[in-house]
């Protein structure tokens, strides 16, 4: 067992602004004031540089972090300078610590030196895909949302011919997962002419990404997904015995897509085929999922309209700040936007008459097409066009091309290459009604303003903070908000970094890829349930004892499903509150932060430190490898980790990481509750050093969850991460008090996540609008 | 059928998508003379067997007389090889037409499957790669023979149906390659990027202007990002201009608009496709091509020859039906006429950057899925080779007397410099490549 983790994490405490006053007063006051700057120049500047920026090959990193002043002074007193510890001690250490802290170390100092601001940003890749999808949707009529998901509409025919008179019956099939044997489906008259089945409806994608659809059948079948004309999977020729025709398609999460599946069993008139059986399984492998029959909860008998999903791959967005931001451009990105614009242009040309509501025979087709073009550009730019813009972006490309279609292509290429489409915040200096609408739509949906928001912008309905908040509240139940919020929660819980959750097959038999996929669904359902089902209280995320389980999971984790529950479906089950506490003990995360053969208190501890308890850790200067074989076999994992991280250099961080990680030791590498590790009873008691110097005793996972649920740092981390995910700008750019204000309101709203989303959207959409400018048109 | 990634699919067929990497500086069109003479291969297919008595010369050796069906090739008599006695000996699932078609170039069995023919067991796709794709892969694997497309699959009047009767090219087991029957679609595939380039060029200038204008509205700090973006746009403009200097050797052919893909247009569609094929070879977009007329069991009604019966129906008539035999001879002679048109074009086009003509470096294989229509025999499959450049001694009529056609495919591979020991069904490769030297 080898996996890298880092020893020597530097614990850094957030929220130092509030602690500053306390710790300063705690410092010793001496008779002779020491000049901190002078001390710094004497002892520190050689390795740390003039502004604490670091010196190559001496101390590379910048001298900044979230330790309290007191802790900083204490550390310098004992450890600095590096080559002669103890030389810079007592009052000198205190003075230099105060100097460092005030000049560049602390968050406030950094904010003062480099004030955060709302930056110009381009659309992130995620936003690009969603914006383009909704841009084209605007011209294709209203989208009928799928209301029920419980299977596909099926028509059975008593012949390979699917004429009406051959129809045997219709019904809804929860899944397409059939073995008909040699006789065919019950109720279909056995004729010598084979039989056929057509399934229709929609498939609902949970997450955004590549979906691989496959057809497991010895017969012929074709599958259409999100395209009524060209089949995605053409398996009309069955060939070979192990052949499962398959194809991938990119889908946007939280949306329904039309599907159609046509199956035919042909008669064999001459000699018997090698395989006389018939049957079909409609399978998919969703992102982070396993290949299996599409579950009923992702199928609907209602038909959705196709959505255009950009297929061009984009280079990954910058996420160095912990969230994806559009802060850089590159050649690869420029080429991707060009290619994607071409893709959209081709789609528009192929469907031009549908989009422009015209017909090839229309005498005024050119006029209709021009109207469409103007609408397209306005939607892309998120604001009305001036006469001059209309000339540049619509009239000139249309008239400059040899044919109408070529002109349309140029309009699309130009609009989608224009900074007015690609960038957000061109109007930050003077935001107007359309800026506010654009911000709201991107913040809540990663997409374009809808008709209602556009109307509000046009009619001056976004002129007060309350009007903006009202719009945000209206937009909240939209599936796109749900999708974005779920994406945030997944990022918060680091669910999107997961590559491989597989465990040692000998130690954890039955923990199959299908189980891992089920666990992800289970966690997703839990997150949705907290945020949208009943009381959207952040603390429920940490404290609820409910688990969503299907039969497979219930059996594995030793819980009982209600007797009436369908085997494939997920049911909310109340677990023992001593054993389960929200996301903290969700098996998916416990398994994620584990080794293939054992739990990993360090991975779990680091995750809890950063994301749940809300203390930040700096990347360590050196990497260590945990080797199980290095330890005596009778040691517990806790003992091994304690031993490994015993050196003082490690303890600086591991004094925080370890107690958090140890409190989850009652869960094995697949997240099952356990009282013992081998022969040894698990020691669940751990002492956690709080920021204020006090020690908190945890007796297991629920104690950690309860501590976090009431912790200011934990709230700050949650709010800040949510803010960044929604707004794609640093919260500090919205004023030094923005985060405190949001937290204050959050706590007062009983930690209501929905209210918090509205607050954040309103705060950032309204930024700079206190004195709203009249709608302005720029050229 | 193997997994086709939707995104790759879009890149493969989407015009703008496919063209962009090309604009961004893929290999140039190879204006310089090649170090070694180019080698090209065309496989032309026509269906339903031939009329042996009007096809095979009575003589073997260099001294032979062409019969009626092959008579259009008279001017090229000394550049032909007529290969009698090659048989498709692959057995297994599928009826004669299916195996005739899908084993013709693959020389390996079909997988068991669900497609039921007029006799025999049902079958699926071929279980191996076809020789045209094998040679294409070989060419594409080497820098000096690599081209933009590698191979192009042209169809004339192939129905829009995918099954073992309609596919002869296979990229691998269970991976049939669909021919493109619509010349306009093929034109887009070959030359669509020219229009795309024009469109892109026309907008980039405006984009740059717009970036400049927008830059004035925002803070100096934010302007840095737009300046970077502007530089990228300028770079793209330069690259497009650069690509524009890589002139095509010959301009794309000009087509009459709106020739629908239907039976009566087959003669015109045939000429359009052949024009495109030769054009794409001159521009060195590919070195391998297939040209598939209809499909196995093809039912073309050659009204332009005053024949109103479907081709396949006619092919089932008994030999004593003189009228049918006459019509079938006429039909096959017409196909040979199309071959003649192709050969003429190649013979009249100078080899780019070298001496001689395109025909000197292009080998055409004309073949059929059956030896004879009414018997459905897979023996004596018509194979006629025309052209040069593959090291074969042309100008002969040979009889291989019941030799597996795998060995012809081996000879083709070796002719291309691809020295494989077996191709298709291993047991049928005994004896190695047939000797054409």
Does some domain include residue B256?
no
Peptide bond into A81 cis (omega under 30): yes
Q: What is the model's pLDDT at position B32?
A: 53
Q: Kind of pairing, strands A177-181 and A278-285?
A: antiparallel
Bridge partners (DSSP) listed for residue A712: none
Please, what is the angle between helix A753-765 and helix A433-445, to 10°?
A: 150
Say if residues B157 and B263 touch (Cβ distance below 8 Å): yes
Q: Same structural domain for residues B64 and B156?
A: yes
Bridge partners (DSSP) listed for residue B267: none
Q: Same structural domain for residues A682 and A587?
A: yes
Last residue of a domain, one of A365, A390, A424: A424
Say if residues A176 and A281 touch (Cβ distance below 8 Å): yes
Q: Same structural domain for residues A109 and A126?
A: no
Q: Collapsing DSSP states into helix, strand and coil, what is residue A246?
A: strand
Q: What is the model's pLDDT at position A425?
A: 86
Residue of B nearest to A338 (CA): B20
Q: Same structural domain for residues B288 and B401?
A: yes
Residue A2 parent element (H or E): strand A2-7
Contacts with B225 from chain A: Cβ below 8 Å: 120, 122, 327-329
- CATH number at A88 reads 1.10.760.10
**How far is Cα A382 from Cα A127, in angstroms, rounded to an integer?**
14
How many Cα atoms sit within 13 Å of A769 on the Cβ side?
25
Judged against a pLDDT cut of 60, whether residue B25 lies above it is answered with no
Mutate to test the interface with A, among B21, B199, B239 (most CBs of A within 10 A): B199
**How far is Cα B170 from Cα B140, in angstroms, rounded to an integer?**
16
Q: What is the model's pLDDT at position B221?
A: 84
Note down the domain range covering B109.
31-182+261-429
Does some domain include residue B235?
yes
Q: What is the model's pLDDT at position A774?
A: 53
Say if residues A82 and A55 touch (Cβ distance below 8 Å): no
Does some domain include residue A497?
no
Measured in angstroms, the CA of A119 and the nearest CA of chain B are apart by: 7
**How far is Cα B293 from Cα A619, in angstroms, rounded to an integer?**
66
Q: Collapsing DSSP states into helix, strand and coil, what is residue B420?
A: coil
CA distances for A748 relative to A55, A662, A741, B165, angstroms: 46, 33, 11, 73
Burial, A291: exposed, middle or buried (Cβ in 10 Å; 0-12, 13-18, 19+)? middle
Does some domain include residue A438?
no
Q: Same structural domain for residues A294 and A172?
A: yes
* Pairs of CB atoms within 8 A across A/B: 200
- Count of domains observed in chain A: 4
Does some domain include residue B255?
no
Helices and strands (H and E) in chain A: how many: 29, 24
**How far is Cα B325 from Cα B314, in angstroms, rounded to an integer?**
8
- CATH number at B341 reads 3.40.720.10
Q: Same structural domain for residues A530 and A661?
A: yes
Please tell me if residue B202 touches chain A, with a CB cutoff of 8 Å.
yes
Q: What is the model's pLDDT at position A775?
A: 54
The first and second tokens of residue A451, run together, are 């008709």
Q: What are phi and psi of B377, to 5 degrees?
A: -75, 145
Q: Same structural domain for residues B86 and B121?
A: yes
Q: What is the model's pLDDT at position A267?
A: 79
Bridge partners (DSSP) listed for residue A247: A213, B4
Q: Same structural domain for residues B14 and B38?
A: no
Scan residues 243-302 of A and list those with Cβ closer than 8 Å to B.
243, 245-250, 265-275
List, in order, residues 6 or more apart from A198 with CB less than 8 Å away: A154, A155, A157, A162, A260, A261, A262, A263
Q: Same structural domain for residues A548 and A680?
A: yes
DSSP A301-369: SSPPPP--------PPPB-TTSS-B-----HHHHHHHHHHHHHHHHHHHHTHHHHHT--TT-TTHHHHH
The first and second tokens of residue A724, run together, are 């960044």
Q: Same structural domain for residues B22 and B7?
A: yes
Q: Same structural domain for residues B208 and B333?
A: no
**How far is Cα B292 from Cα B42, in angstroms, rounded to an integer?**
10
- Give alpha helix (H) positions in A359-492: 365-381, 387-390, 396-400, 404-417, 419-422, 433-445, 451-458, 465-475, 479-492
Q: What is the model's pLDDT at position A116?
A: 81
Does some domain include residue B402?
yes
List, in order, residues 6 or more apart from B431 with CB less than 8 Å away: B403, B407
Nearest CB partner across the interface for A339, out of B17, B211, B221: B17
**How far is Cα A753 from Cα A282, in angstroms, rounded to an integer?**
37
Q: Collapsing DSSP states into helix, strand and coil, what is residue A611?
A: helix
Please tell me if residue A232 touches chain B, with a CB cutoff of 8 Å.
yes
The C-alpha torsion from A476 through A478 and A480 to A482, rounded to 10°, is: 60
Contacts with A427 from chain B: Cβ below 8 Å: 217
Scan residues 95-124 of A and list those with Cβ closer than 8 Å to B.
117, 119-120, 122
Does some domain include residue A718?
no
* B203/A212 CB distance under 8 A: no
**How far is Cα A575 from Cα B120, in angstroms, rounded to an integer?**
61
Q: Same structural domain for residues A657 and A525?
A: yes
CA distances for A229 relative to A127, A221, A222, A350, B7, angstroms: 27, 15, 12, 12, 17
List, in order, residues 6 or more apart from B91 with CB less than 8 Å away: B99, B109
Nearest CB partner across the interface for B162, out of A218, A237, A327: A237
Please tell me if residue A335 touches chain B, with a CB cutoff of 8 Å.
yes
- Count of domains observed in chain B: 2
Please tell me if residue A431 touches chain B, with a CB cutoff of 8 Å.
no
Q: What are phi and psi of A597, to 5 degrees?
A: -115, -10
Q: Same structural domain for residues A195 and A244?
A: yes
Residue of B nearest to A310 (CA): B7
Q: Same structural domain for residues B23 and B36?
A: no
Mean pLDDT of B89-113: 95
* B207/A327 CB distance under 8 A: no
Judged against a pLDDT cut of 70, whether residue B310 lies above it is answered with yes
Does some domain include residue B325?
yes
Contacts with B235 from chain A: Cβ below 8 Å: 331, 334
Placement of tokens 């010369």 in the chain = B57
Does some domain include residue B253?
no
Does some domain include residue A39?
yes
Measured in angstroms, the CA of B218 and the nearest CA of chain A are apart by: 6
Does some domain include residue A204?
yes
How many Cα atoms sit within 13 Å of A116 on the Cβ side?
17
The first and second tokens of residue A489, run together, are 């929660």
Q: Same structural domain for residues A245 and A385?
A: no
Does some domain include residue A505?
no
Q: What is the model's pLDDT at position B19?
A: 40
Does some domain include residue B133?
yes
**How far is Cα A345 from Cα A405, in angstroms, rounded to an integer?**
10
Instruction: Give chain A's end-to-end CA distance (angstroms, integer).
Output: 63
Q: What is the model's pLDDT at position A710?
A: 94
**How far is Cα A775 from Cα A185, in angstroms, rounded to an integer?**
64
Does some domain include residue A416?
yes
Last residue of a domain, one of A709, A740, A757: A709
Q: Same structural domain for residues B216 and B267?
A: no
Scan residues 94-153 of B and list those with Cβ closer than 8 Å to A.
110-117, 119-125, 127
Low-confidence ranges of chain A (pLDDT < 70): 1-33, 142-144, 190-191, 242, 269-273, 567, 618-623, 771-779
Q: Same structural domain for residues B59 and B132?
A: yes
Question: What per-residue string of b and e applies to A235-261 under the rule 16 or more CB within 10 Å gives b?
Answer: bbbbbbeebbbbbbbbbbbbbbbbbbb
Q: Same structural domain for residues A102 and A243?
A: no
Please tell me if residue A313 touches chain B, with a CB cutoff of 8 Å.
yes
Q: What is the model's pLDDT at position A24?
A: 35
Q: Same structural domain for residues A73 and A137?
A: no
Note down the domain range covering A326.
122-141+313-424
Measured in angstroms, the CA of A19 and the nearest CA of chain B are apart by: 33
Last residue of a domain, one of A398, A424, A450: A424
* A329/B217 CB distance under 8 A: no
Q: Same structural domain for residues B21 and B35?
A: no
**How far is Cα B103 from Cα B108, in angstroms, rounded to an integer?**
6
Nearest CB partner across the interface for B217, out of A220, A267, A778: A778
Does some domain include residue A170?
yes
Q: Same structural domain for residues B172 and B212?
A: no
Judged against a pLDDT cut of 50, whether residue B9 lies above it is answered with no
**How far is Cα A604 from Cα A535, in angstroms, rounded to an integer?**
28
pTM of the model: 0.83
Q: Same structural domain for residues B206 and B235?
A: yes
Q: What is the model's pLDDT at position A620?
A: 63
Q: Same structural domain for residues A533 and A590?
A: yes
């Amino acid at each position: 067992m080898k996996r890298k983790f880092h020893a020597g994490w530097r614990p850094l405490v957030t929220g130092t602004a509030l602690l500053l006053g306390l710790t300063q007063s705690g410092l010793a006051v001496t008779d002779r004031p020491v000049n901190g700057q002078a001390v710094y120049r004497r002892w520190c500047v050689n390795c740390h540089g003039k502004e604490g920026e670091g010196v190559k090959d001496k101390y590379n990193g910048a001298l900044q972090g979230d330790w309290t002043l007191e802790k900083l002074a204490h550390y310098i007193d004992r450890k600095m300078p590096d080559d002669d510890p103890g030389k810079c001690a007592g009052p000198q250490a205190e003075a230099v610590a105060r100097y460092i802290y005030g000049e560049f170390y602390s968050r406030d100092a950094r904010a003062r030196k480099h004030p955060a601001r709302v930056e110009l940003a381009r659309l992130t890749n995620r936003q690009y895909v969603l914006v383009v999808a909704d841009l084209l949707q605007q011209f294709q009529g209203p989208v009928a949302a799928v209301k029920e998901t419980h299977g596909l509409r099926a028509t059975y025919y008593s012949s390979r011919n699917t004429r009406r008179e051959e129809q045997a019956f219709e019904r809804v099939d929860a899944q397409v997962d059939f073995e008909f044997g040699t006789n065919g489906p019950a109720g279909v008259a056995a004729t010598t002419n084979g039989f056929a089945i057509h399934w229709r409806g929609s498939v609902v994608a949970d997450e955004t990404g590549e979906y691989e659809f496959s057809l497991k059948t010895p017969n012929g079948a074709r599958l259409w997904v999100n395209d009524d004309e060209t089949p995605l999977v053409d398996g009309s020729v069955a060939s070979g015995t192990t052949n499962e025709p398959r194809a991938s398609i990119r889908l946007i999460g939280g949306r329904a897509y039309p599907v159609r599946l046509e199956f035919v069993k042909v008669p064999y008139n001459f000699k018997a085929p090698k395989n006389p059986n018939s049957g079909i399984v409609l399978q998919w492998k969703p992102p982070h999922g396993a290949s299996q029959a599409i579950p009923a909860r992702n199928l609907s008998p209602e038909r959705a309209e196709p959505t255009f999903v950009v297929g061009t791959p984009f280079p990954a967005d910058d996420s160095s700040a912990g969230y994806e931001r559009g802060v850089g451009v590159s050649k690869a990105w420029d080429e991707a936007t060009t290619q994607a614009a071409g893709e959209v242009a081709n789609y528009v040309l192929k469907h031009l008459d549908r989009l422009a509501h015209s017909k090839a025979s229309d005498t005024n087709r050119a006029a209709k097409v021009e109207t469409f073009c103007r609408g397209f550009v306005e939607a892309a730019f998120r604001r009305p066009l001036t006469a001059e813009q209309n000339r540049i972006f619509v009239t000139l490309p249309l008239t400059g091309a040899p044919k109408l279609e070529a002109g349309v292509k140029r309009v699309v290429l130009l609009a989608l290459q224009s900074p007015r489409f690609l960038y957000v915040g061109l109007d930050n200096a003077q935001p107007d009604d359309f800026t506010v609408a654009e911000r709201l739509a991107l913040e809540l949906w990663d997409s374009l303003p809808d008709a209602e928001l556009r109307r509000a912008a046009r009619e001056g309905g976004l002129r007060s903070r309350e009007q903006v908040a009202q719009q945000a509240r209206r937009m909240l139940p939209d599936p796109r908000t749900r999708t974005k919020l779920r994406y945030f929660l997944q990022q918060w819980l680091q669910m999107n970094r997961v590559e491989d959750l597989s465990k040692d097959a000998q130690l954890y038999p039955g923990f199959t890829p299908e189980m891992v996929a089920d666990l992800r669904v289970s966690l997703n359902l839990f997150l949705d349930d907290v945020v949208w089902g009943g009381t959207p209280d952040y603390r429920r995320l940490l404290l609820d004892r409910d688990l969503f389980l299907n039969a497979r999971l219930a059996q594995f984790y030793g819980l009982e499903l209600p007797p009436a529950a369908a085997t494939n479906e997920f049911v909310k089950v109340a677990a023992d509150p001593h054993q389960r506490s929200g996301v903290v003990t969700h098996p998916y995360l416990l398994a994620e932060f584990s080794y293939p053969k054992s739990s990993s208190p360090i991975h779990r501890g680091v995750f809890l430190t950063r994301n749940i308890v809300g203390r930040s850790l700096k990347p360590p200067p050196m990497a260590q490898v945990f080797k199980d074989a290095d330890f005596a076999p009778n040691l517990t994992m806790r003992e091994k980790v304690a031993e490994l991280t015993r050196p003082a250099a490690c303890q600086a961080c591991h004094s925080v990481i370890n107690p958090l990680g140890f409190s989850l030791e009652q869960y094995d590498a697949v997240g099952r509750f356990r009282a013992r590790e081998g022969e040894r009873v698990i020691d669940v008691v751990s002492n956690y050093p709080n920021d204020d110097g006090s020690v908190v005793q945890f007796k297991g996972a629920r104690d950690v969850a309860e501590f976090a649920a009431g912790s200011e740092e934990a709230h700050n981390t949650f709010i800040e991460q949510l803010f960044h995910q929604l707004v794609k700008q640093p919260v500090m750019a919205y004023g030094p008090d923005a985060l405190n204000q949001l937290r204050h309101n959050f706590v007062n709203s009983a930690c209501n996540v929905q209210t918090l989303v509205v607050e954040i959207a309103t705060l950032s959409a309204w930024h700079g609008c206190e004195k709203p400018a009249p709608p302005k048109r720029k050229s | 059928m193997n997994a086709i990634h939707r995104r790759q699919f879009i890149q493969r067929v989407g015009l703008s998508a496919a063209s962009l990497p090309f604009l961004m500086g893929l290999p140039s069109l190879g204006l310089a003379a090649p170090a070694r003479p180019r080698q090209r291969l065309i496989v032309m297919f026509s269906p339903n067997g031939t009329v042996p008595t009007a096809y095979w010369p009575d003589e073997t050796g260099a001294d032979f007389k062409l019969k009626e069906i092959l008579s259009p090739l008279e001017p090229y008599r000394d550049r032909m090889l007529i290969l009698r006695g090659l048989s498709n000996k692959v057995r297994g699932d599928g009826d004669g037409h299916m195996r005739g078609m899908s084993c013709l170039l693959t020389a390996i069995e079909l997988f068991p499957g669900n497609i039921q023919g007029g006799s025999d067991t049902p079958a699926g796709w071929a279980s191996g790669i076809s020789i045209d794709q094998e040679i294409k892969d070989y060419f594409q694997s080497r820098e000096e023979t690599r081209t933009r497309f590698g191979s192009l699959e042209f169809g004339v009047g192939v129905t829009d149906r995918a099954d073992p009767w309609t596919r002869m090219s296979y990229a691998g087991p269970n991976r049939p390659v669909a021919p493109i029957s619509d010349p306009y679609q093929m034109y887009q595939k070959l030359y669509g990027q020219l229009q795309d380039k024009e469109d892109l060029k026309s907008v980039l200038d405006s984009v740059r202007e717009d970036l400049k204008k927008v830059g004035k509205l925002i803070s100096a700090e934010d302007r840095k990002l737009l300046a970077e973006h502007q530089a990228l746009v300028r770079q793209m403009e330069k690259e497009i201009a650069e690509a524009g200097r890589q002139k095509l050797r010959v301009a794309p052919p000009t087509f009459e608009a709106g020739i629908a893909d239907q039976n009566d247009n087959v003669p015109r569609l045939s000429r359009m496709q052949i024009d495109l094929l030769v054009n794409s070879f001159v521009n060195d977009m590919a070195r391998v091509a297939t040209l598939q007329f209809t499909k196995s069991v093809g039912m073309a009604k050659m009204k332009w020859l005053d024949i109103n019966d479907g081709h396949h129906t006619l092919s089932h008539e008994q030999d004593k039906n003189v009228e049918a035999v006459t019509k079938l001879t006429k039909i096959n002679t017409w196909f040979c006429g199309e071959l003649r048109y192709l050969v003429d074009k190649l013979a009249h086009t100078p080899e780019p950057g070298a001496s001689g003509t395109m025909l000197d470096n292009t080998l055409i294989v004309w073949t059929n899925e059956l030896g004879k229509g009414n018997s459905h025999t897979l023996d004596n499959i018509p194979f006629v080779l025309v052209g040069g450049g593959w090291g074969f001694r042309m100008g002969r009529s040979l009889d291989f007397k019941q030799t597996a056609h795998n060995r012809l495919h081996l000879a083709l591979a070796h002719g291309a410099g691809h020295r494989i020991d077996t191709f298709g069904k291993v047991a049928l490769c005994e004896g190695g490549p047939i000797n054409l030297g």
